[in-house]
Amino acid sequence: MEKILIIDDDESIRESLVNLLSRWKYRTISAENGRQGIDLALSENPDLIISDIRMPKMSGLDVLDELQKFKLAIRVIIITAHDDMSTTIQAMQKGFMILLKNRLKPNGSGYQFSVPLKIRD
């Protein structure tokens, strides 16, 4: 079973993602900030990381920078609620896999994401 690490400072988004992915039979672990996320990535070696880009103290881009120092082969999905082109460009330069617009909307049974903005291997 694939393991997915969710990093987001917003508890409702983090828990919604954990619940959704668990229903899809993924094993999930979660972190409420970038530092905790890095520690979990190093100790748990997840197959995928989904991280918010804007978090206090350590952004999702900072998390990517830190993880690249360890040369881990983990795919990363960055989520953001902001239409900020400079942040999008920075994420692209750092080699993100997918940048999703995080517009979580209640749909009766949880939340749904909008369509991916960019996809990159």
- What are 35-72's pLDDT values in tens digits? 999 999 999 999 989 988 888 888 888 888 888 888 87
Predicted local distance difference test score (pLDDT) of residue 77: 82
Q: How confident is the model at residue 88 (pLDDT cuts 50, 70, 90)?
A: low
Q: How would you classify residue 11: left for phi > 0, otherwise alpha for psi between -120 and 50, otherwise beta?
A: alpha
Instruction: Report which residue type is found at 121.
Output: D
β-sheet with 3-7: strand ranges across: 27-31, 3-7, 48-52, 75-80, 98-101, 116-119
| Fold of the 3-119 domain | Rossmann fold (3.40.50)
Rounded Cα distance, 96 and 26, in Å: 21
pTM of the model: 0.76
Q: How confident is the model at residue 92 (pLDDT cuts 50, 70, 90)?
A: low
Instruction: Check pLDDT > 60 for residue 16.
Output: yes
